[in-house]
A and B are shown apart, each in its own frame.
Chain A
């Protein structure tokens, strides 16, 4: 049973199908230990966006208000994609390296633990 319904074999409309986003896909990015940003952010981007574009053009818009942002050593950053360790390749697109629709990415920046080390 995938739902208790009065009609047999009821199926629900998938409201967030990839094709509803006009050529974009949604991805989520959270910065570990930086909860000044209260939740991971949601972004709508074309699936063929290069990872380097994400790093250089998108992340500063989302996270640069934090004083730690300027100090991030991007070579030392540790990444997770949908819960698994992940080594992004900057020259490849999101979709080429498995960052598909509604994927969740988190990154941690060793040595940077937020405002006064509080995880904010």
Chain B
């Protein structure tokens, strides 16, 4: 007698590979139109090793169990006024940055994997992309829910999807994903699946989630745990796509190498936001950006590229440039946000004496020499009632869209300038990486929606900065933006925590 119940292997086969059918009345090229234009050659899709080995029914069951636990903790966090137990109200600005800058990328990743999966002739890759698309959708939802409690008590959370599409610094992560999603399906997989999810993900998630743990943010750290097993699957898929492409045909090697070069640089530039978050926005520091970069990029990438060497893949060209910047990146990024703190939807501030000393200790070669004098001057200005804000809009890099605040590592006090002339027009860049990416595909990057140029073209509300920031960006002026000192966030926080001494007094009196 045969069992009525399928065993795991049968179920897996029936619910994944067996979903494929023969195309009898349409040409393959017509069905999978995007499979060949990038120059990638696939000779045998059946060689795709399914990295997830999950079927949809077990996926639902597993994720539902995780969500039950997750939402129980969110409820407990809210009921216990968890927002009052973070280390300091300044910390909350790190998650404002996460919600406006990173969570919408999860949604972009969902769109990207859903679209990309459809373009592959191989059923294994299609199912894998579908699973990842669902994970990404779950991540954006659970992140919004994790952080929604803070929206009741702090400013700057209210319009995150609107802001993501418009605000100048959010164009950095947004354009990164737009770039990936408008590429072909194989480039998308190398960009997001491999470069971002495999190589760089630890530099993004570990700092934010450990930052949450170190700073009493149980809601966010619990989201992090809930996403961890998904991320592990995503990393496996990222590595699988690279190995599959490289094993399919030798002609794929130089194409994949160029994509790795490009996307590691693009991703690294987006991580500038993480660098400053780690060194400046966490009241309790986890580790410095430099330390994190050494562990999660230098060591991890070195061993990864050693593995990939047998396919003829080398360490990306720009890794040396990224390594050279590690003692400067976070300070330059924080300087940008301090300059334009009037135009940001979160608060900025100067580090305390103790924090400056921590920075000196962590960055002995650079902090006291280059950055401490600048900060002391800014603090002096603030104490004199003239907190420094840069009154003029910054020059942006055409590719990464970050203000040109990076310097030449041979001469760290000199701005790094690069320029190309294409079709009679000048384009400016922050680095060799960004310039080379433009030069290879200029017809793509001439379309960059650079926030500063859009303001000058009159496409972002009125001519006055208040119209741009208030109406077009929907930043509540005087509330969401400006320095932390003097903000309503700070005032509320102080009010909460003055309650404690008042209660103590009552206890003593009685």
Contacts and interface: CB of A to CB of B under 8 A. Distances in A.
Interface stretch (A33-41, A46-54, A89-97): A33-41
B425 interface: yes
Interface stretch (B150-158, B310-318, B385-393): B385-393
A42 B457 CA distance: 13
Given A39-B415, A83-B419, A118-B373, A3 B404 contact: no
Interface in B24-70: 33-34, 37-39
B301 interface: no
Given A15-B448, A42-B395, A83-B419, 8 more contacts: A2-B442, A14-B446, A20-B457, A21-B456, A38-B332, A42-B396, A82-B426, A119-B370
A16 interface: yes
A14 B452 contact: no
A117 to B, nearest CB: 8
Interface string B323-350: 0000000001001101110000000000
A3 B381 CA distance: 48
Contacts of B370: 118-120
Contacts of B392: 41-43, 61-62
A44 interface: yes
B394 interface: yes
A13 B443 CA distance: 8
Contact of A22 (B407, B413, B458): B458
Interface in A1-23: 1-6, 10-17, 20-22
A4 B259 CA distance: 12
Contacts of B338: 38
Contacts of A102: 425-428
Nearest to A3: B443
A2 B441 contact: yes
Contact of A39 (B37, B183, B373, B403): B403
Given A5-B37, A16-B453, A28 B428 contact: yes
A44 B37 contact: no
Interface string B415-436: 1010100010111100000000
Interface residues of A, number: 51
Most buried by B among A11, A37, A65: A37
B447 A12 contact: yes
A119 B369 CA distance: 9
A67 to B, nearest CB: 8
B413 A33 contact: yes
Nearest to A45: B456
Contacts of A44: 456
B377 A26 contact: no
Interface in B6-26: none
A39 B404 contact: yes
A57 B446 CA distance: 32
A104 B417 contact: yes
Most buried by A among B34, B423, B441, B446: B446
A38 B426 contact: no
Interface in B162-185: 183-184
Given A2-B443, A15-B450, A120 B377 contact: yes
B374 interface: yes
B124 interface: no
Contacts of B428: 28, 102, 104
A54 to B, nearest CB: 13
A106 B415 contact: yes
B449 interface: yes
Most buried by A among B371, B414, B448: B414
Contacts of B373: 114-116, 118, 120
B405 interface: yes
B444 A24 contact: no
A15 B413 contact: no
30 contacts: A6-B33, A10-B443, A12-B445, A13-B447, A14-B425, A14-B446, A15-B446, A15-B447, A15-B448, A17-B425, A30-B415, A32-B415, A38-B335, A38-B340, A38-B405, A39-B336, A40-B417, A41-B394, A42-B394, A42-B396, A62-B391, A65-B391, A82-B419, A102-B427, A113-B413, A114-B374, A115-B373, A115-B376, A118-B374, A119-B412
Nearest to B369: A118
A24 B456 contact: yes
Contacts of B483: none
B398 to A, nearest CB: 9
Contact of A38 (B381, B394, B445, B448): B394
Contacts of B426: 82, 100-104
Given A102-B426, A102-B428, A119 B413 contact: yes
Interface string B204-245: 000000000000000000000000000000000000000000
Nearest to A28: B395
B187 interface: yes
A82 B426 CA distance: 9
Contact of B374 (A15, A43, A101, A120): A120
A13 B447 CA distance: 6
B394 A40 contact: yes
Contacts of A26: 453, 456
Nearest to A20: B457
Closest 4 CB pairs of A and B: A119-B413, A120-B374, A3-B443, A41-B392
A13 B415 contact: no
